[in-house]
Amino acid sequence: MSEIQVNTINEYTSANGVTIDGVLIKDGDFTQGTWTSTIQYSTTLTTTSGFSTTTFTGNYIKIGKLYRCSLPRINRSSMSLSADFIVNSVSLPATTASTNQTVNGVYGYGLGSRYNTTVIGQPQLMAGCGGSATALTVQGLDTDSGGSGFLLVSYGTTGFVDLSWDFVSA
C-alpha cells in the first residue's frame, strides 16, 4: 500500500476544488461557526403580535448548502425573565432555498401551546421553515380539532426548550 503524508493539498486551478477518491472538495464546503439569532417571544401569553426580541449565540455546521443549527437552552434564566413565555420564531444564519421545506421536532420540559386565550391540549410541538425564509417558526399543532398556537414554556423555573434543526440555504 502506498501512502502520502501531507498537511495541505492545494488546488492546481483556483476554485476547481480537489477530488479525492471520487469526492470533490471545494473551499467553503465545510464550515462551522456561530451567528446571533433573534428570538421573538412574549410574557403576555395571550398576545398574537407585537413580540419582544432577545438574542442568543447559536452554533452551526455548514456542509455545502446544508446547515445544522442549534441554540443553547431557552428558559426563564437564559431569557432573563421571571414569568412563563411564548416563543414565536428564531432567526436563521442564512436565508433558506426557495424549495426548502424543513420541519423538526422540539424537545424540552414544561412545554405546551397557546393561541390568544386558548390553551391547546396535547399539541404536537414543531419548528419549521419554508422556502426563502429567514426565521424558524416554533408552534404547537392541535391534533384534535385543527389550528396551531405559539410554543409555551411554562412550569416556572424548570421549564425549558432545546432547539436544533437542519435547512438548505439559497
Q: What is the average per-residue pLDDT within 147-169?
A: 96
Distance CA 93, CA 108 (A): 23
* Residues 70-117: tens digit of each pLDDT: 999 999 999 999 999 999 999 999 999 999 999 998 999 999 999 999
Residue 3: pLDDT band by 50, 70, 90 thresholds?
confident
Q: How far apart are CA 27 and CA 97, in angstroms?
A: 20
Q: What is the pLDDT of residue 37?
A: 98
State residue 11's pLDDT score.
Answer: 86
Dihedral pair phi/psi, residue 38, rounded to 5°: -95, 125
Locus of grid cell 452551526: 60
pLDDT above 80: residue 33: yes
| Predicted local distance difference test score (pLDDT) of residue 28 | 76
Percent of the chain with pLDDT over 90: 76
Ramachandran sector of residue 15 (left: φ over 0; alpha: ψ -120 to 50; beta: rest):
left
Average pLDDT over residues 17-38: 88
Q: And the C-alpha cell for 85?
A: 413565555
DSSP-based three-state secondary structure for 157: helix
pLDDT band at 132 (very low <50, low <70, confident <90, very high): very high
**Residue 136 in grid coordinates:** 424558524
